[in-house]
Amino acid sequence: MLQFDKICYLDGNGNLLTSEIKTELDEGFVKKIYRQLILVRTFDRKAISLQRQGRLGTYAPFEGQEAAQVGSAMALQKDDWLFPTYRDHAATITFGHSLTTVFLYWNGRIEGCIPPPDRKIFPPAVPIATQLPHATGAAMAEKFKGTSNAAIVYFGDGATSEGDFHEGLNFASVFKAPVVFLNQNNQYAISVPIERQMNSKTIAQKSVAYDIPGIRLDGNDVFAVYFETKKALERARKGEGPTLIEAVTWRYGAHTTADDPSKYRDQLKSDFIRDTEDPILRLEKYMKKAGMWDEQWSQQLHEEEAEKIEQAVKGMEAFPLPDTNDLFDHVFEENPWVIQDQKDQYFEFLRGVYT
């Protein structure tokens, strides 16, 4: 039996389990992580609220998974690549996507896929696992060009059952591509629990087939995620090839705002995980024990981050209305007849609605 123990640096009670990282945990750095965690959680809750008010389209929440995304994205360098899924906007925001842009994406706007000019962030992959071969390809290109840039690619537990997962890992292994495969094992693929879609006991063990390092860690421990991702990226930059990281975590909410998790999950389990494992609570506990906590600072920080979110919502809502042609005109240079037919029908429908 392959054994991949779950690495944990900071437990649910805010205790540091290793002295290895102590010197790197200066107060400014810890507070920076905390601020980012609050920013993204506030974003997530606001997005759900906007969707419920009809001001945002269907939305995929990540609450519970903040440490896995923020910790790993903070380990990146400016010229690295980031390949997200539809649930990884905490990572893309941390790496530099603007909040307004991410809101625009969830309002179905193509502008929501455009990263800042100095960041290489792909649009979220909705088809499961397709982004893994893309990331491997980008990493191979960086290697062929002789740079020290790396790529990180995010994907869920369900994605590891797709062919693209295996193709991405195999190519990365063969070509020693500088890519970190960051799996967030939130233990569900929509309503399918992990034990019903794989017999493997862990996702990390899948690294063995490709002879690359596999790390299993507590994905709600932002320190473990940050420091282990950093090590993996350093290996990648030195030419030592890819790493598969399994960050074990849990999404508190629904798969998307169109889903009802009470149909397939025990809410008590979710509540228990929130009480005992939450990434933000455990960091707060650590900061209190380490003498880094200041109630007034925290209160002000919450207000500042909430204000950033409000400004971003204003930015999204001030955006000019979309052009309906955009729905049809960006896949082919010239629309094939099936798409043209759909477009004609849709415009006819709209004429009916608005006349």
Ligand X SMILES: Cc1ncc(C[n+]2csc(CCOP(=O)(O)OP(=O)(O)O)c2C)c(N)n1
| Residue 126, binding choice from Mg ion, ligand X, none, Cβ under 5 to 8 Å by partner class | ligand X
Helix axes 222-237, 66-74, angle to 10 degrees: 40
Torsion, Cα of 54, 56, 62, 64 (10° steps): -40
| SS3 per residue for the chain | CCCCCCECCECCCCCECCCCCHHHCCHHHHHHHHHHHHHHHHHHHHHHHHHHCCCCCCCCCCCCCHHHHHHHHHCCCCCCEEECECCCHHHHHHHCCCHHHHHHHHCCCHHHHCCCCCCEECCCECCCCCHHHHHHHHHHHHHHHCCCCCEEEEEECHHHHCHHHHHHHHHHHHCCCCEEEEEEECCEECCEEHHHCCCCCCCHHHHHHHCCCEEEEECCCHHHHHHHHHHHHHHHHCCCCCEEEEEECCCCCCCCCCCCHHHCCCHHHHHHHHHHHCHHHHHHHHHHHCCCCCHHHHHHHHHHHHHHHHHHHHHHHCCCCCCHHHHCCCCCCCCCHHHHHHHHHHHHHHHHHHC
Contact flag: residue 183 with Mg ion (CB under 5 A) = no
Structure-block tokens of residue 47 = 């997005």
Q: Interface mask (CB under 5 A) for Mg ion, residues 157-176, using x and -?
A: x-------------------
Span from 98-106, 151-159, 258-266, 280-288 in contact with ligand X (CB under 6 A): 151-159
Which of these ranges, 125-133, 263-271, 292-300, 311-319, lies near ligand X under the rule CB under 6 A?
Answer: 125-133
Mark whether 255 is an active-site residue: yes
Segment contacting ligand X (CB under 6 A): 92-100, 139-147, 187-195, 317-325?
187-195
* The entry of ligand X, Mg ion, none that residue 277 binds, CB within 5 to 8 Å by partner kind: none
Which x/- pattern, by CB under 6 A, does the window 82-111 give for ligand X? Answer: -----x------------------------
Applying CB under 6 A, which of residues 137, 156, 219, 241 lies at the interface with ligand X? 156
User: Residues 108, 116, 127, 239: which binds ligand X (CB under 6 A)?
Assistant: 127
Q: How many residues bind ligand X (CB under 6 A)?
A: 14
Catalytic member of 251, 252, 282, 286:
251
Query: Does residue 156 bind Mg ion (CB under 5 A)?
Result: yes
Q: Count how many Cα atoms sit within 13 Å of the Cα of residue 49 in the half-sphere of its side chain.
A: 9
**Closest distance to ligand X from the beta carbon of 157 (Å):** 4
Choose the stretch contacting Mg ion; rule: CB under 5 A; options: 39-47, 105-113, 179-187, 206-214: 179-187
Residue 219 as a binder of Mg ion (CB under 5 A): the answer is no
Binding-site member from 42, 51, 136, 186 for Mg ion (CB under 5 A): 186
Q: How far is the CB of 298 from ligand X (least distance, A)?
A: 29
- First vs last Cα of the chain: how many Å apart? 68
Which window, 36-44, 153-161, 170-178, 239-247, contacts ligand X (CB under 6 A)? 153-161
The answer to whether 159 contacts ligand X (rule: CB under 6 A) is: yes
Smallest gap from Cβ 322 to Mg ion, in A, equals 30
Establish if 128 lies at the interface with ligand X (CB under 6 A): yes
- Site for ligand X (CB under 6 A): which residue of 2, 190, 208, 209? 190
Site for ligand X, residues 240 to 279, rule: CB under 6 A? 255
Return residues touching Mg ion (CB under 5 A). 156-157, 186
List residues with catalytic annotation.
251, 255, 264
